[in-house]
A and B are shown apart, each in its own frame.
Chain A
Amino acid sequence: EEQLLESGGGLVQPGGSLRLSCAGSGFSFTNYAMTWVRQAPGQGPEWVSGITGSGGSTTYAGSVKGRFTISRDSSKNTLFLQMNSLRAEDTAIYYCAKDLRIWSSGGMDLWGRGTTVTVSS
């Protein structure tokens, strides 16, 4: 069974850092792009960042560019999101999702349950 499991969320002060992880299982990890999507309370999803199956190309939403870094460890079937200089507006549930393609097409057919990030003093 295909599965994604996020971890690493929590409460952090403004300006702080967090590193999210997402462990994938049940599918060939390197054959698919992976994505982080976040959803603030009461809001719709927001695409945050994507990485190709090989890990050779990454892209970011303008709202996080320069602060967040996406990466993947294919030997461990794990996706990461390093979040620095966190702001209150980064507060959200963060989902990792598997893309249908080896590049970030926006079609994501497998989602984790999400991990909650709260940025507050």
Chain B
Amino acid sequence: QSALTQPPSASGSPGQSVTISCTGTSSDVGDYNYVSWYQQHPGKAPKLMIYEVTKRPSGVPDRFSGSKSGNTASLTVSGLQAEDEADYYCSSYADSNIAVFGGGTRVTVL
């Protein structure tokens, strides 16, 4: 199972929005509504930000939102704040009851 494809970097000024894409196949993103997004700061474990494409765990700001169209999922961070600067990874449930991660996108707040 190949990793999901994400752009290596994205950036925006404080208050702006940034959208990260996550492209998979019909064996993962395209066929299941089990796409998750994780935020990871240096030296820390990943933190769940979005699950099942659009749902936010308790405590995650509503500035974070998710969507999906076909084989591509997206994470949008609105109203960028300095603390949003981190690496973001998507993951998807896939055929054969496994999960796959994306390669990650480093978000920089300018």
Contact = CB atoms under 8 A, between A and B. Distances in A.
| Bound pair (A, B) | yes
Interface of A: 35, 37, 44-47, 50, 57, 59-62, 95, 100, 103-109, 111-114
Given A44-B89, A45-B46, A108 B36 contact: yes
A24 B9 CA distance: 35
A108 B57 CA distance: 10
Given A45-B38, A60-B98, A106-B35, 6 more contacts: A35-B99, A37-B46, A45-B101, A47-B91, A105-B52, A105-B93
A57 B98 CA distance: 12
Contact of A62 (B1, B34, B48, B57): B1
A21 to B, nearest CB: 17
B36 A107 contact: yes
A114 B52 contact: no
Given A106-B91, A111-B47, A50 B99 contact: yes
A47 B46 contact: no
Interface of B: 1, 3, 34-36, 38, 40, 45-48, 51-52, 57, 87, 89, 91-94, 96-104
B89 A47 contact: no
A114 B93 contact: no
A42 B38 CA distance: 16
Contacts of A103: 97
A109 B45 contact: no
